[in-house]
Amino acid sequence: MTDGAIIEAHDLTKVYHVGDVDVQALRGVNLRVAPGEFLSVVGPSGSGKSTLFHILGGLTHPTSGSVMVQGRDLLRMSDADRTDLRKKTVGFVFQKYNLLPTLTAEENIEIARDIAGRPPRPEQFQGMVKLLGIEGRLHHKPRALSGGEQQRVAIARAIVNNPAILLADEPTGNLDTQNSQVVLDLLRRLNHEFHQTILMITHNPEAAAYSDRIVHMRDGRIED
């Protein structure tokens, strides 16, 4: 790992086999993210940004190149190692929120701690839900929450285990302008006040403007 980098990728490639056809999703990505940085990855559909998100989050393995996340080489990771990475090192925020519909907001957040095998920490929990402005909505199921509230619950779930990296995939993609602003303000606050490293994928330049740095992807590569 280069000094100071929390994510470092060199010549990263990913090939998907779809039937008899090989689809080259990443064609040699080079990327360096410093701890505490808020980085936006912007690009059109099919540019490979979601694939990059999946690899950095340990949801899939790269084909070649090297990618280090907090000093761990993702290319050499087994399935169990990648599960461990998702449990302890990265937190996800998705465009569709992806909350479990049968659980309340509070249970949706607590299940992330349960999966990580960590006991609940009520004080930290209360501070976090207050920061996110969802303290009055904890006993509601997702269907009773607005899109903005669901996304704030999803952010709470993503950060409840204090991950080193927060990966957000189009976090405002399903939200109106007002709720988008609330969510983006929250992400920026998490970054500024708690030095949370955030890597956000978006195609919205206004959303990207909230970050410290923007990189553009096209055809499986990061453009200079």
Partner 1 sequence: MRTLLSALAIGIQVVLMLTLVGVSEGMLRDVAVRSRGTGADILIKPPGSSILTFSSGAMPEGIVNKVRELPHVAIATGSLVHQVGNAFDAIAGINLAEFNQMSGGFQYVEGGPFTAPDDIMIDQVYASQNNLHVGSTLKFGVSWHVTGIVVPGKMSRMFANLKDVQDRYSAINQVSVIWVKVDAPKNIPAVVEELKNLLPDYGVWSVEDYVSIVSADNVPMLKDFTRVVIGIGAVIGFLVVFLSMYMAVLERTREIGILKALGASPGYVMGILLRETVLLAIAGMIAGIVLTYFARAMLTRFVPSFPTVMVYAWWPRAGLIALAAALIGALYPGFKAARQDPIEALSYD
CB of 200 to partner 1, least distance (A): 17
Q: Measured between alpha carbons, how far is 172 from 3 in angstroms, rounded to an integer?
A: 33
CB of 209 to partner 1, least distance (A): 27
Nearest residue to 144 via CA among 98, 105, 109, 174: 105
Q: Measured between alpha carbons, how far is 202 from 169 in angstroms, rounded to an integer?
A: 7
Which residue, 91 or 208, has its beta carbon nearer to partner 1?
91
Which residue, 21 or 80, has its beta carbon nearer to partner 1?
80
Which residue, 97 or 210, has its beta carbon nearer to partner 1?
97
Which residue, 162 or 181, has its beta carbon nearer to partner 1?
162
33 and 39 in contact (C-beta within 8 Å)? yes
Non-local (6+) Cβ contacts of 85 within 8 A are 57, 58, 69, 72, 74, 77
CB of 115 to partner 1, least distance (A): 5
CB of 79 to partner 1, least distance (A): 8
* Tally of CB atoms within 10 A around 161: 17
CB of 192 to partner 1, least distance (A): 26
Where on the chain is the footprint of partner 1 (CB under 8 A)?
Answer: 54, 57, 59-60, 80, 83-88, 92, 94, 98-101, 111-112, 115-116, 157
Which residue, 43 or 91, has its beta carbon nearer to partner 1?
91
Q: Measured between alpha carbons, how far is 173 from 75 in angstroms, rounded to an integer?
A: 30
DSSP state of 144: G
Which residue, 142 or 210, has its beta carbon nearer to partner 1?
142
CB of 156 to partner 1, least distance (A): 13
DSSP state of 164: S
Question: Cα–Cα distances in Å, from 94 out to 10, 166, 197?
Answer: 26, 11, 16
Q: How many CA atoms lie within 13 A of 155 on its CB side?
A: 31
